[in-house]
């Protein structure tokens, strides 16, 4: 940075101008009076000149003076020009002193001579400090006052060489003093300039620092409230927006909890980068659909999103239509490189303030509703209902107590007979799991088996069933002779490598033949995602001589033609078909029986409740019956078996 030296010198010059002019004028008046008193009349002319000069200098100074406020912006060139003018005025003053000393020291009176000398030296001495701002003119000033005086002192009729010499020595000292003062002044200006620059630099750095700190604080705050991947709010951001919205008088809103369906499969199958892309796209689409009404849109967890939308009580459209719009937007295929992904979400909806006024509670409720949506088939929405919470609590109790139930005798097996449609003779028992819970009472197997599947407790539970069924049936066979025991097996059990070997070990342990056991699996076992593993387990069992039945046939939409690819021996037609008396359903049963026969499979009709059903389905070609008509599930015994569809009131006979 260049320091505006001349501008600063001008400031000093302006400051010193009047004081020095005043000193100059008063000295002039003083000496004029002394000389006039001694009869030197020429001195009046000189004083007249000094006065004129002083007035001229005042006028000129007033004309060119730069006010303090304008000094800051004055160009250096301008400052030099003004400095020169002021210096010229000072030199004019010196010129008049030159005239005075020349004439004044020529007078004979020594008192006046000395007075003139003293005043001249005093003026020159004053210039050492007062004219430090004029490095050149200042020196001229000193010389112009001293040199003529010294010259006059040696050229007088009565010369004063010593005084003249002293004058010269003084001049030398004053010149060097002036030089030093000038230098000190310049240095101090430069230093002040540098200090100012330094201060400015420090201020700038401070400002820059402040700006950077503010920016950083803003970024940190944004990061603290925003999800980095999607740009939506994170949990903290959502909490803040909710609190602000409530504080601003927000009175009615809906909270939509979106849980992406099968996101784990996308992540596992396509990779995490693709998973991230899906999340970003989902966020974008949610923003597109809800942006207008949103209090806040947030990513709550891995694949969970929240839309908190303003929803006045008199809102014309239903919240369901917004949920549908979100579902539709999400269902659009997502293209990542050359792959196509599709995301769906199970959406749960809770209302503020009806369902909860606390955000966490509101989210909990919407989450419950989304679990319910997921349970009912994914890709749907559900509006929160109090019974969801009860259902979930019950599920949690079931999951928690199941392990203990196996060891403390709460579980048992009920046996339902399967009889020949033609003769009514006992063919098999199906083992059906029962749980008498100390608090919840009798829990239906459908319910707790589903929980066991979800919580991976199905492995030990399934093993318990096979062992218990084999143990009880082996004792029954020992007394009554051979009978088939049908055990329900969940797909997850088949996916465990050791399943077939465990079955064989159990049979061996209870001295049962493989043909005594039948495994019932549902059509879901043939879903393509785990086809190979399931096939491997079923083939191992089939090779060993265990028979396999497809349970609840007709409910899983599996293709009949694929039956030949599996080692299946029996089809159990689901009781919903038996109960439905429409012609269409009857045709389905007929077709199923026909195809099954072609593949050499036996047909069991489940859920036979009436004699008419039994007769009709027997006429279609079913081989075996199971249902309340024959007997409800109960003890492992043949007592109570009936077969009223056979001619006359005839009791079914034991196979034993």
Which residues of the chain form contacts with ligand C2E (CB under 6 A)? 416, 432-433, 444-446, 449, 465, 488-490, 520, 551-552, 575, 606-609, 626-628, 633
Choose the one of ligand C2E, Mg ion, none that binds residue 445, judging by a C-beta under 5 to 8 angstroms depending on kind: ligand C2E
Count of residues that interact with Mg ion, criterion CB under 5 A: 5
Residue recorded with tokens 């007075």 = 115
Name the minimum Å distance from CB 486 to Mg ion.
Answer: 7
Number of H helices, E strands in the chain: 21, 16
Beta pairing class for 381-383 and 344-352: parallel
Choose the one of Mg ion, ligand C2E, none that binds residue 490, judging by a C-beta under 5 to 8 angstroms depending on kind: ligand C2E
- For ligand C2E, the closer of residues 435 and 476 by Cβ is 435
Choose the one of Mg ion, ligand C2E, none that binds residue 627, judging by a C-beta under 5 to 8 angstroms depending on kind: ligand C2E
Name the minimum Å distance from CB 571 to ligand C2E.
Answer: 12
Name the minimum Å distance from CB 372 to ligand C2E.
Answer: 21
Q: Is 552 in the site for Mg ion (CB under 5 A)?
A: yes
Name the minimum Å distance from CB 573 to Mg ion.
Answer: 9
Name the minimum Å distance from CB 511 to ligand C2E.
Answer: 22
Q: Binding mask 491-520 vs Mg ion (x if CB under 5 A, - otherwise)?
A: -----------------------------x
- Please pick, from the candidates 488, 506, 547, 613, the single residue that binds Mg ion as defined by CB under 5 A: 488
Helix (H, G, I), strand (E, B) or coil at 133: coil
- For Mg ion, the closer of residues 109 and 609 by Cβ is 609
- For ligand C2E, the closer of residues 19 and 444 by Cβ is 444
Name the minimum Å distance from CB 632 to ligand C2E.
Answer: 7
Beta pairing class for 517-522 and 253-261: unpaired
Helix (H, G, I), strand (E, B) or coil at 293: coil
- For ligand C2E, the closer of residues 356 and 487 by Cβ is 487
Alpha-carbon distance values, 430 to 497, 504, 637 (Å):
25, 19, 12
- For ligand C2E, the closer of residues 117 and 465 by Cβ is 465
Whether the Cβ atoms of residue 54 and residue 25 lie closer than 8 Å to each other? yes
The helix (run of H) or strand (run of E) holding residue 631 is: none
* Cα angle 226, 229, 235; round to 5: 35
Q: What is the DSSP letter of 565?
A: G
Choose the one of ligand C2E, Mg ion, none that binds residue 421, judging by a C-beta under 5 to 8 angstroms depending on kind: none
Choose the one of ligand C2E, Mg ion, none that binds residue 449, judging by a C-beta under 5 to 8 angstroms depending on kind: ligand C2E
Whether the Cβ atoms of residue 391 and residue 407 lie closer than 8 Å to each other? no
Whether the Cβ atoms of residue 428 and residue 518 lie closer than 8 Å to each other? yes
Name the minimum Å distance from CB 409 to Mg ion.
Answer: 24
d(CA 57, CA 33): 22
Choose the one of Mg ion, ligand C2E, none that binds residue 609, judging by a C-beta under 5 to 8 angstroms depending on kind: ligand C2E
Sheet bearing 294-299, strands edge to edge: 294-299, 304-310, 253-261, 344-352, 381-383
- For Mg ion, the closer of residues 516 and 520 by Cβ is 520
Choose the one of ligand C2E, Mg ion, none that binds residue 633, judging by a C-beta under 5 to 8 angstroms depending on kind: ligand C2E
The three-state (H, E, C) secondary structure of 169-199, written as one string: HHHHHHHHHHHHHHHHHHHHHHHHHHHHHHH
In the complex, residue closest to ligand C2E by CB: 627
Choose the one of ligand C2E, Mg ion, none that binds residue 444, judging by a C-beta under 5 to 8 angstroms depending on kind: ligand C2E
Choose the one of Mg ion, ligand C2E, none that binds residue 4, judging by a C-beta under 5 to 8 angstroms depending on kind: none
Alpha-carbon distance values, 50 to 35, 144, 216, 445 (Å):
15, 16, 69, 127
Whether the Cβ atoms of residue 262 and residue 274 lie closer than 8 Å to each other? no
d(CA 493, CA 189): 93
Alpha-carbon distance values, 353 to 249, 292, 312, 386, 403 (Å):
12, 21, 11, 15, 40
Name the minimum Å distance from CB 465 to ligand C2E.
Answer: 4
Q: According to CB under 5 A, which residues from 442 to 471 bind Mg ion?
A: none
Choose the one of Mg ion, ligand C2E, none that binds residue 12, judging by a C-beta under 5 to 8 angstroms depending on kind: none
d(CA 138, CA 176): 11
- For ligand C2E, the closer of residues 138 and 627 by Cβ is 627
Choose the one of Mg ion, ligand C2E, none that binds residue 433, judging by a C-beta under 5 to 8 angstroms depending on kind: ligand C2E
Choose the one of Mg ion, ligand C2E, none that binds residue 114, judging by a C-beta under 5 to 8 angstroms depending on kind: none
Name the minimum Å distance from CB 437 to ligand C2E.
Answer: 15
Runs of H (alpha helix) within 343-490: 359-375, 386-407, 445-454, 458-480
- For ligand C2E, the closer of residues 303 and 518 by Cβ is 518
The CB density around residue 608, as the number of other CB atoms within 10 Å, is 28
- For ligand C2E, the closer of residues 124 and 449 by Cβ is 449
- For ligand C2E, the closer of residues 14 and 626 by Cβ is 626
Backbone angles phi, psi at 255, to 5 degrees: -115, 120
- For ligand C2E, the closer of residues 445 and 471 by Cβ is 445
What does the buried/exposed string (b/e) look like for 19-56 if buried means 16 or more CB atoms within 10 Å of the residue's CB? ebbeebbebbeebbebbeeeebeebeebbebbeebbee
Name the minimum Å distance from CB 563 to Mg ion.
Answer: 17
- For 117, the token pair is 């000398």
Helix (H, G, I), strand (E, B) or coil at 553: strand
- Please pick, from the candidates 355, 551, 623, 624, the single residue that binds Mg ion as defined by CB under 5 A: 551
Name the minimum Å distance from CB 467 to ligand C2E.
Answer: 11
Q: Is 523 in the site for Mg ion (CB under 5 A)?
A: no
- For ligand C2E, the closer of residues 329 and 630 by Cβ is 630
Name the minimum Å distance from CB 549 to ligand C2E.
Answer: 9
d(CA 14, CA 359): 73
Q: Is 514 exposed, middle or buried (0-12, 13-18, 19+ CB in 10 A)?
A: middle
Name the minimum Å distance from CB 541 to ligand C2E.
Answer: 15
- The residue range among 115-123, 277-285, 312-320, 600-608 that interacts with Mg ion, by the rule CB under 5 A, is 600-608
Q: Is 247 exposed, middle or buried (0-12, 13-18, 19+ CB in 10 A)?
A: exposed
- For ligand C2E, the closer of residues 161 and 634 by Cβ is 634
**Closest alpha carbon to 127 in 144, 113, 115:** 144
Q: Is 547 in the site for Mg ion (CB under 5 A)?
A: no
- For ligand C2E, the closer of residues 72 and 404 by Cβ is 404
The packing angle between helices 319-331 and 272-290, to 10°, is: 140
Residues at the contact surface with Mg ion, assessed by CB under 5 A: 488, 520, 551-552, 606
């Amino acid at each position: 940075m260049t320091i505006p030296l001349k501008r600063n010198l001008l400031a000093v010059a302006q400051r010193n101008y009047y004081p020095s002019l005043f000193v100059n004028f008063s000295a002039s008046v003083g000496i004029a009076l002394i000389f006039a008193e001694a009869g030197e009349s020429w001195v009046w002319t000189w004083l007249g000149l000094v006065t004129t000069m002083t007035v001229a200098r005042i006028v000129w100074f007033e004309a060119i003076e730069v006010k303090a406020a304008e000094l800051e912006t004055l160009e250096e060139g301008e400052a030099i020009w003004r400095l020169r003018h002021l210096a010229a005025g000072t030199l004019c003053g010196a010129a008049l002193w030159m005239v005075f000393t020349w004439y004044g020291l020529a007078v004979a009176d020594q008192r006046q001579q000395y007075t003139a000398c003293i005043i001249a030296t005093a003026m020159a001495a004053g210039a050492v400090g007062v004219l430090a701002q004029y490095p050149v003119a200042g020196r001229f000033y000193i010389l112009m006052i001293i040199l003529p005086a010294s010259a006059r002192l040696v050229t007088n009729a009565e010369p004063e060489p010593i005084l003249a010499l002293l004058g010269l020595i003084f001049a030398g000292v004053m010149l060097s003093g002036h030089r030093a003062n000038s230098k000190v002044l310049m240095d101090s200006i430069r230093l002040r300039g540098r200090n100012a620059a330094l201060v400015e630099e420090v201020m700038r750095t401070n400002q820059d620092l402040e700006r950077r700190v503010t920016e950083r604080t803003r970024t940190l705050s944004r990061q603290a409230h925003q999800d980095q991947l999607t740009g939506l709010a994170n949990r903290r951001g959502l909490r803040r927006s909710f609190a602000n919205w409530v504080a601003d008088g927000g009175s009615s809103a809906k909270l939509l909890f979106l849980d992406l369906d099968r996101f784990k499969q996308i992540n596992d199958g396509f990779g995490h980068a693709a998973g991230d892309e899906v999340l970003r796209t989902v966020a974008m689409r949610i923003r597109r659909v809800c942006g207008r009404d949103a209090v806040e849109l947030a990513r709550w967890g891995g694949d969970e999103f929240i839309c908190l939308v303003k929803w006045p009580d008199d809102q014309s459209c239903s919240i369901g239509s917004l949920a549908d719009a979100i579902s539709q937007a999400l269902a659009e295929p997502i293209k990542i490189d050359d792959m196509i992904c599709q995301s769906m979400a199970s959406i749960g909806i809770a209302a503020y303030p009806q369902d909860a006024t606390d955000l966490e509670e509101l989210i909990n409720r919407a989450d419950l509703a989304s679990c319910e949506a997921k349970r009912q088939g994914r890709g749907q929405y559900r509006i929160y209902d109090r019974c969801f919470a009860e259902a979930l609590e019950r599920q949690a109790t079931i999951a928690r107590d199941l392990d203990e139930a196996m060891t403390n005798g709460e579980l048992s097996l009920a046996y339902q007979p399967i009889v020949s449609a033609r003769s009514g003779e006992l063919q098999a028992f199906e083992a059906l799991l029962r749980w008498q819970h100390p608090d919840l009472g009798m829990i239906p197997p459908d319910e707790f088996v589903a929980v066991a599947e979800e919580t991976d407790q199905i492995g030990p539970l399934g093993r318990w069933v096979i062992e218990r069924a084999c143990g009880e049936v082996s004792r029954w066979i020992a007394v009554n002779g051979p009978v088939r025991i049908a055990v329900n097996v969940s797909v997850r059990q088949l996916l465990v490598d050791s399943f077939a070997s465990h079955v064989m070990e159990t049979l061996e342990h209870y001295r049962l033949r493989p043909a005594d056991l039948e495994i019932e699996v549902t059509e879901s076992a043939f879903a393509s995602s785990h086809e190979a593993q399931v096939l491997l387990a079923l083939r191992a069992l089939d090779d060993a001589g265990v028979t396999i039945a497809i349970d609840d046939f007709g409910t899983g939409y599996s293709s009949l033609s694929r039956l030949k690819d599996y080692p299946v021996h029996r089809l159990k037609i689901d009781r919903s078909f038996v109960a439905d008396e429409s012609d269409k359903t009857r045709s389905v049963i007929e077709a199923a029986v026909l195809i099954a026969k072609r593949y050499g499979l036996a047909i069991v009709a489940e859920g036979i409740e009436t004699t008419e059903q039994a007769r009709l389905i027997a006429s279609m070609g079913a081989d075996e019956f199971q249902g309340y008509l024959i007997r409800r599930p109960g003890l492992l015994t043949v007592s109570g078996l009936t077969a009223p569809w056979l001619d006359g009131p005839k009791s079914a006979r034991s196979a034993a």
